[in-house]
Structure 1
Amino acid sequence: MSAPADPAAVRVPWSVIPDYHCFGCSPHNASGLRLTFTPHGDGLQARFRLDRSFESYPGIVHGGLTGVICDEVMGNLIVLARHAPAFTVSQRTRFLTPLLIDREYRCVAELSGSGSENLIHASAEIRDADDAVCAASAATYRPFALDAVRHQLSLRDDEVALLDQALTTANALSPNGVPS
């Protein structure tokens, strides 16, 4: 997996934890996607190119990763726009064409609808180099307070405090997802 370096990349709040291992966005996870994010229109995007280690059929990216990438971009949009992490409640992905190994793609996510305090709706599309839509995904997320799920997280107290501070001060995107 390789992602082009981008000086406009948004720093995700998780990066305050020196050794975070998110499969989607951590630069520390050698087996992960190592996605980086940039503001895009009314939301967030990630450009990516997957190598054969993410292959299903010969030359084809494993379909499950399509949903993972969409979920990762939508989830980080929520974190950056709403200053709160959120668990995925449901996700539906439509596959229009297979993603090919060693090709450039971008996933663009936006918040959909107004949502509520309890649920946030987002959508994402994966587009190829010609801007054709290869996959579309819609998901619902439930925001959570770090303290409320502390028993489920494998973070030390000092790391929870760092992350809580980073979430509070993140200002990359406005609450509706539009770059500020």
Structure 2
Amino acid sequence: MKKIINPWVGLDGYMCFACSPANPSGLHMEFYEDGDDIVAYWKPNEYMQGWLKTLHGGIQSTLMDEIGGWIIIRKLQTTGVTSRLEAKFIKSISTDEPLLTIRGRIKDRKRNAVFLEAEIYNSQDKLCARADMVYFVVSKERATEEFHFCGCKTEDE
């Protein structure tokens, strides 16, 4: 497993709620490449609850949506936007969980539409949520011009 370098760290104004280390209210997600999968490990906090000690479904959706974005930037070396996200919440996630695993991959691609799937597993490796997503990807030129994207590497590259 290889840690992915965040290509936007240091970019003025970069405050992504999910992945910016500079956002004081953010999730501070970090990502790893594991074969065809992109993986993140993340610990919930009590202020992210929906019901008592239960991780809010919107936060779960954000975790899966963000892994989708990082699949695109690492595997396709471009950027894109979420076109569709269909989440299924299978097992509630406690905000006391010591560590969640969020994992995703590409399932198919048709022109600029990339079909992805993602899952969230609790610390007992039980499937808690899953999502099917469609991302609309842009050309590498547009990714550079509009999204300030200049490639995504792992620490060993």
TM-score bracket for the superposition, by shorter chain length:
0.7 to 0.9
1:79 aligns with 2:73: yes
Contact 2:90 2:129 in 1 (8 A): yes
Candidates 92, 117, 127, aligned match of 1:123: 117
What residue in structure 1 maps to residue 19 of structure 2? Answer: 25
**Shift in Å, 1:18:** 4.8
What residue in structure 2 maps to residue 108 of structure 1? Answer: 103
What residue in structure 2 maps to residue 63 of structure 1? Answer: 57
Higher helix share: 1
Higher strand share: 2
**Shift in Å, 1:41:** 3.4
**Shift in Å, 1:171:** 3.9
Candidates 128, 138, 141, aligned match of 1:144: 138
Greater than 4 Å deviation, 4+ residue runs: 145-151
Calculate percent identity across the aligned residue pairs. Answer: 22
Contact 2:79 2:143 in 1 (8 A): no
Any gaps of 5 or more consecutive residues in structure 2? none
Aligned residues: 154
Any gaps of 5 or more consecutive residues in structure 1? 1-6, 154-159, 173-179
Superposed CA offset, 1:131-165 (max 9, x none): 110001110010124875899x6xxxxxx6xx33x
**Shift in Å, 1:99:** 1.1
TM-score (norm 2): 0.87
Superposed CA RMSD: 2.4
1:16 to 1:84, Cα distance in 2 relative to 1, 3 A: farther
